[in-house]
Structure 1
Amino acid sequence: MLQIPAWKRVLIWAACALGLILALPNGFYDRVERSNDAEARIEAGFVTDENTADAGLWPSYLPSSLVNLGLDLRGGAHLLAEVKLEEVYETRLEGFWPELRDALRPERDTIGTIRLQPSSGNELRVRISQPENMARAMEVARGLANPVQSLTGALENDIEVTSDGTDLIVSLSEAERQATDQRTMAQTLEIVRRRIDEAGTREPTIQRQGADRVLIQVPGIGSAQEVKELIGKPALLTFQPVVTRTENGETNPGPGNEILPSIDGFSAFYVLERTPVVTGEDLVNAQPSFDQNGRPAVDFRFNTSGARKFGDYTAENVGSPFAIVLDGEVISAPVIQTAIRGGSGQITGDFDVVESTNLSILLRAGSLPAGLEFLEERTIGPDLGQDSIDAGTIACIVAFAAILVFMALSYGLFGIFANIALIINVGLIFGLLSLVGATLTLPGIAGIVLTIGMAVDANVLVFERIREELKTAKGPARAIDLGYEKALSAIVDANITTFITALILYAMGSGPVRGFAITLGLGIITSVFTAIFVTRVMVVMWFERKRPKTIEV
């Protein structure tokens, strides 16, 4: 008969209460957001009276997770960037030259002298003085090949060795290029995400588009230029030996060297050894600080390997200058006074507090493997985002009010039970969105509106089934019981097919499509729960209290 065990009733109401409590912070969005941001700054070490006051705006014993607003609701920056994959090929081949040189030197009696030749970034050219023995040089070069580190190219080598008669030509194989592209894009996405997260922005969207493009959307930031300044720099940090300093940027640096300008704006150029002693990849931490004269600086610390290489080099070159190079510019070129064994140091230069903070963020996040070229940039103002919120709010209110009126007029008291469950349903949706940290977009609001209609549809199926059972002269209790029992299969089937569609949209789509799929999928779960369990509990509790002889649905 029409009975629900006490433990099941407690469990149902407890789930409703938990969902509504999780959704509660969204009703005080600005206050909770200020409190969360202040707590994050306090954890980072910025303890001020203002941060302490803001942190107290929301009680610590209540949940503080919010539904993050997407770019179309909050405003922010939209960027589309192209990754310069050719730079990675060039860097890879430049790094291969010392290994090839060392392998060919023992063969000089056979192949003669070896000399690196100017070439494009897609190949490495080495001229030998005895080209009649080119076959031996090619054999040595092929011996340096390694298997491609990918599933698709596991049986192929990473380099191809050819000759035009006088020059030995080394290039990357097609399989290695494809594997390099995959690694470069994955590394670029991760580093861009780290840089944006370090800056404290909320829920950015960072996705790969096509073979060599990255879509970046950052809600709540003032302009696209801010994002470009943060993520556009490669932040390639190197420590290189200084050969000499010159005032002429056209000076021939010589083989194995390069000439780079000074970052201080003066007409100074440095001739440096191309191979660095240590790179930014060996950094484990970088923090903004001040030097002994009170000027902004950046403190850094190497890992074990970097500290050993840095310590050995400084010990062997006391009295010689070495250059700290960032993105092809010499920040400073101090003279080594003593061996630096601790693995830590300080970067000083002509920059202010903001620049030192941004530099520390870039160094902590790591250097980009290749440069970015921005193809598209847009700044979406908060006014546009507010218009979207208002439009979505109006749509939800109109749909919600129309459904409430329709259900109350069509089904009377049972319609009021359905309306109460519908209100709980919307609260549960926002509770789940807050719990999983989802981002709400304008298509996501459309998913909520659609969910409201689907939740009513489940109640309509139940109530119409109860009407049918009442016409067969069954008692009220039996009619209600059979109504829920026989409508269950139709409700489950309809919602499962829609849920599968939501899963496909989430798996195959991106951006706004995923936002729609998330709210639709979570809404289906909550609507089935409220239609099958919550309304039934309310109906049973009312029936046990009133014990009506007849009912009208």
Structure 2
Amino acid sequence: MMLSLALVLSLVYALPNLYGEDPAVQISGARDVPSLSETTLKEIRAILEQEHIFSKATVLDRGSILCRFSNVSAQLHARDALIKALGENYLVALHLAPATPLWLSRIGARPIKLGLDLRGGVYFLIEVDMDTVLHKLQKKTIDTLLFDLHGKGIPYLAVHQIENYGSTIRFCDADTRDKAIDWLTQQHHNIVIRSIKDNALGVKPANNLLQQARESAVKHNITILRNRINQLGIDEPLVHRQGSGRIVVEMPGLQDMALAKRVLGATGTLEFRLVNTFAHQSPVSSLVPGDSELKSTQDGQPVILYKQVILTGEHITDATSNTDEYNLPQVNISLDRSGGRIMSNFTKENIGNLIATLFVEYKDCGQKDDDGRTILEQQEKVINIATIQSRISNSFRITGIKNPNEARQLSLLLRAGALSAPIQIIEERTIGPTVGRQNISQGLAACFWGLLASILFMIIWYRKFGLIATTAIIANLVLIIGIMSIIPGTTLTMPGIASIVLTLAVAVDANVLINERIKEELRNGRTVQKAIHEGYRGAFSSIVDANITTLITAIILYAVVASGPIKAFAITSSIGVATSMLTAIIGTRAMANLLYGAKRIDNLSI
């Protein structure tokens, strides 16, 4: 009874996979328009009607709008029309939307999520600029040491950066240098500090600190990239690390490469620094004190800022744009707990001083390195200077922005998250849905012919028990598809299809083992019912051992070699092991008992 119920439920939840997908356009709000409304839905329907574009359905779902079309031509026409009419406030992306009937959707039945190789979509191989990461660490290290020297009252003459992300600090005499080494060594155990000539000391982050910075940069960038993909409305994007400094991003169903690059590749962030009001504002950088540097405002005016960074955009959790009391654009900033504590402590001690908001962005400079990769150039501009009038904690605002559009773009960028290091897209591919359909058709053909060959063999060789085994194999396939459709996060890829074919082969093997044991018991003179009982009992341990071995292998593959295709293969194999044991042992035994259990039979059709 339980097996029949499981089979019926699996069949119902496997049905959505028969309906395919529709070409679609998904409209979602930019970060300062987080969700859409019925008013926006009516506006989009009016745009499509005005352009004479017929849509199968245009619905508001989970804060975004999805327009379905009957063909790709209408999809592309609609995308262009909507981008032109809606402007930059909205993200308009090409999608493939499941064509599941409403009655199935209402009970939570959805098709299996297909991987990039089956569904098509966008693939990026991204490299994190580790040189920028380590230069940031170099700068942070020297700023921390200079702050400690200042607090201890130890004077120094000059600071210089050297190779391998180290720095030198020069003092007026050897005694002052030795005093500085003793003090700094006590305070910092992960920084290598040594004495060098000319009354100077050399500092360099320890190797473990350098490695930690690399690891942290990659992990943080993966998190931010996932956050940015979420605004595109992609189901189950795959974002994972490859090697020491590369990230793979796969977005199944998305066909808009330009939009994906624009959202993923944004590198801007903010730095909050104190303005050096004691230094003369001069455009000549040689006149700037050693603890400060010359920057420019958006209008080109020189501003001298202290090098020490108070806070970076990594601590920003939310950013929205609106207008202030004078109807001028502004961006409202919210910080995390750590950022709020830093800002609170700093502003408490610096009331009356000027604080500057420095916008930092990495852009293509038009040149390439020896490996042919684009060289990114750091561009900085001061977008706001304000007087600290009171203690600031987790929330504050940035004013002085030129226009509302710039405020919207800045809030969009900050809410999507600031990358801890710039990234470069070193490989990009758009995989069309046609290639995916070809992979699916070839995979299904392989599955069909393999299944047909197994069924013919079982029926010819084992007769009625072959029909029982065939029923179990088909039930096994339905269970696999149904379970994969129900479990969230499960994605079917080409290796997954191979795993299903392999699972069906293993299920056939289990039935062969049972049937051969039954035939052996019959040859030994057992009665029909006794032969069936002993056949299942004798084959049970062998089937369980073989399936547990397969399950252990799948778990190891998932845990150790958890890259996309291998991970999908491992998950599908694990589901297949469970369903094959259920159908081969319990299912066929139930059918055999139903046919032969209460009857006096002298001959068995096997």
Q: TM bucket by the smaller chain?
A: 0.7 to 0.9
How big is the shift at 1:172? Answer: 0.9
Provide the residue aligned with 1:520 in structure 2.
Answer: 573
Provide the residue aligned with 2:182 in structure 1.
Answer: 139
Q: What amino acid is the match of 1:369?
A: S
Distance 1:495 1:56 in 2: 37
Distance 1:230 1:347 in 2: 25
Say if 2:181 and 2:193, in contact at 8 Å, map to a contact too. Answer: no
CA separation of 1:535/1:126 partners in 2, compared to 1, >3 Å: closer, same or farther?
Answer: same
CA separation of 1:461/1:66 partners in 2, compared to 1, >3 Å: closer, same or farther?
Answer: same
For 1:377, what is the secondary structure of its paired residue? strand
1:14 matches 2:47: no
1:124 matches 2:167: yes
Distance 1:538 1:201 in 2: 44
Q: What amino acid is the match of 1:116?
A: V
CA separation of 1:449/1:294 partners in 2, compared to 1, >3 Å: closer, same or farther?
Answer: farther
Say if 1:506 and 1:518, in contact at 8 Å, map to a contact too. Answer: yes
Say if 2:118 and 2:440, in contact at 8 Å, map to a contact too. Answer: yes
CA separation of 1:408/1:195 partners in 2, compared to 1, >3 Å: closer, same or farther?
Answer: same
Instruction: Give the aligned CA root-mean-square deviation in angstroms.
Output: 4.0
Distance 2:325 2:16 in 1: 46
Higher relative contact order (CA 8 A, sep 6+): 1
Distance 2:571 2:526 in 1: 42
Distance 2:601 2:296 in 1: 91
> In the alignment, which of 125, 147, 170 is matched to residue 80 of structure 1?
125
Is there any run of 5+ residues in structure 1 with no aligned partner, and where? 1-9, 147-156
CA separation of 1:120/1:223 partners in 2, compared to 1, >3 Å: closer, same or farther?
Answer: farther
Provide the residue aligned with 2:587 in structure 1.
Answer: 534
Deviations 1:352-379 (A, max 9, x none): 86x8777545434543322223333323
How big is the shift at 1:442? Answer: 0.7
Say if 2:356 and 2:382, in contact at 8 Å, map to a contact too. Answer: no
How big is the shift at 1:143? Answer: 2.4
Provide the residue aligned with 2:512 in structure 1.
Answer: 460
> In the alignment, which of 303, 323, 327 is matched to residue 357 of structure 2?
323
Say if 1:21 and 1:63, in contact at 8 Å, map to a contact too. Answer: no
Distance 2:441 2:324 in 1: 50
Provide the residue aligned with 1:163 in structure 2.
Answer: 196
Give matches, 1:176-215, under 5 Å: 176-215=209-248
Q: What amino acid is the match of 1:180?
A: A
Provide the residue aligned with 2:60 in structure 1.
Answer: 51
Give matches, 1:109-508, under 5 Å: 113-120=156-163, 122-131=165-174, 133-146=176-189, 157-242=190-275, 253-260=288-295, 270-287=303-320, 298-303=331-336, 306-307=339-340, 313=347, 322-327=356-361, 328-330=379-381, 332-333=383-384, 335-336=386-387, 343-345=395-397, 349=401, 359-360=410-411, 362-434=413-485, 435-508=487-560
Moved more, 137-146 or 22-31: 22-31
CA separation of 1:78/1:36 partners in 2, compared to 1, >3 Å: closer, same or farther?
Answer: closer
Say if 1:289 and 1:298, in contact at 8 Å, map to a contact too. Answer: yes
For 1:143, what is the secondary structure of its paired residue? helix
If each structure's strand is expressed as a fraction of its own residues, which one has the higher value? 2
Distance 2:458 2:138 in 1: 71
Deviations 1:32-54 (A, max 9, x none): x999999xx9x964243521597
Distance 1:466 1:530 in 2: 17
For 2:244, what is the secondary structure of its paired residue? coil
Moved more, 56-65 or 483-492: 56-65
Q: What amino acid is the match of 1:442?
A: M
How big is the shift at 1:165? Answer: 2.6
Distance 2:523 2:118 in 1: 50
For 1:452, what is the secondary structure of its paired residue? helix
How big is the shift at 1:19? Answer: 3.4
How big is the shift at 1:25? Answer: 3.7
Identity of aligned residues (%): 31
Q: Structure 2 length as normaliser, TM-score?
A: 0.74
Q: What amino acid is the match of 2:427?
A: E
Q: What amino acid is the match of 1:536?
A: R
Is there any run of 5+ residues in structure 2 with no aligned partner, and where? 42-58, 67-99, 362-378
Say if 1:90 and 1:121, in contact at 8 Å, map to a contact too. Answer: no
CA separation of 1:445/1:253 partners in 2, compared to 1, >3 Å: closer, same or farther?
Answer: farther
CA separation of 1:102/1:346 partners in 2, compared to 1, >3 Å: closer, same or farther?
Answer: closer
Say if 1:207 and 1:215, in contact at 8 Å, map to a contact too. Answer: yes
Moved more, 81-90 or 294-303: 294-303
Distance 2:460 2:328 in 1: 73
Distance 1:506 1:248 in 2: 58
Provide the residue aligned with 2:140 in structure 1.
Answer: 95
Say if 1:198 and 1:361, in contact at 8 Å, map to a contact too. Answer: no
For 1:474, what is the secondary structure of its paired residue? coil
Moved more, 454-463 or 474-483: 474-483
Say if 1:116 and 1:126, in contact at 8 Å, map to a contact too. Answer: yes
